[in-house]
Amino acid sequence: MPIKREDFEEAQLPLDDRILRYLGEDPDRACDLAEVVAGVERTDLQTAQMLMLLEMRGTAEAGLARRYSEALERLIGSGRIVSASLAGRTYYGLPKR
């Protein structure tokens, strides 16, 4: 199925930039890993969670969760995003300005 040119061009951006763009859509919210994947990949949360579960079980192409986790860690290290843990889940968001 064809995609819009805008979606095609965004998919060519580095993952770090795509994550920042997604989190910047609503700077007052923080998202967990699956929510970030769903938002950046423009899929629903359930699909993102299923892809990550299949990956953990070794039945899907490895790397999705790892690529996102590494990108999030780079962004935290550079101070461009922050993280916080709540109820056993880690959330990511933009720092308060």
List CB contacts of 74: < 8 A, sequence separation 6 or more: 16
Give the separation between CA 15 and CA 5, rounded to whole angstroms.
18
| Mean pLDDT for the chain overall | 87
- The count of structural domains within the chain is 1
- Note the pLDDT of residue 60: 55
Q: Which residue has the higher pLDDT, 82 or 48?
A: 82
The domain that contains 79 carries what CATH number? 1.10.10.10
pLDDT at 2 over 70: yes
Q: Are the beta carbons of 70 and 78 closer than 8 angstroms? A: no
pTM above 0.85, yes or no: no
Q: Which domain holds residue 68?
A: 5-93
* Per-residue pLDDT tens over the stretch 34-69: 899 889 988 888 887 777 776 666 655 557 788 899
Torsion of CA 69, 73, 75, 76, to 10 degrees: 130
Q: Measure the CA–CA gap between 24 and 35, rounded to whole angstroms.
A: 14
